[in-house]
Structure 1
Amino acid sequence: MTFLDSAADHGLLGPYSYLACDPFSTYLIADGQPNWNGEALAGDPWAVLRALLARFREAHRPDLSPFQVGAAGSTSI
């Protein structure tokens, strides 16, 4: 689960908070190796992620919040 909470007092940037749960897929990077749903992929992890997300591109809807499609998650060191 990912929770992005905005408490900013800014008319354009502050009114949105996001809660994401039950992901349809997982993308992990371990030792520089990208993995999509447990399958190892070759290439630069950021380029691989951009290519994967391009599959799910949607038209922007101005009636919704700014973050409509993308990846959200956490990092671990």
Structure 2
Amino acid sequence: MEEVRLDAEGLRARARRAVDESPYTQADVARELDVSRGSITQALNDTSPRLEKLRCRIVELLEPCEVERRRTFVLHPND
């Protein structure tokens, strides 16, 4: 996986896609991250910047990468 740079909307879309393409439900992801299912739903649908940290955690949980927070978001492959 190559390095990918995302803006805030791109990160939200990536988190949504990661959940949609995973075998896990939003409830499963919420349990794994120790947050409510409603928080996961909100992070995937709401554009609020206050949910960026949770979106990063969702992507890191479901994809083989580490998310580096900057003005843009950078996904580094885990080789």
Q: Same fold (TM over 0.5)?
A: no
Q: Which has the higher helix share?
A: 2
TM superposition score normalised by structure 2: 0.26
Work out which structure has the larger RCO, using CA pairs closer than 8 Å and 6 or more positions apart in sequence.
2
Larger Cα Rg: Structure 1 or Structure 2? 1
TM superposition score normalised by structure 1: 0.27
Q: Which has the higher strand share?
A: 1
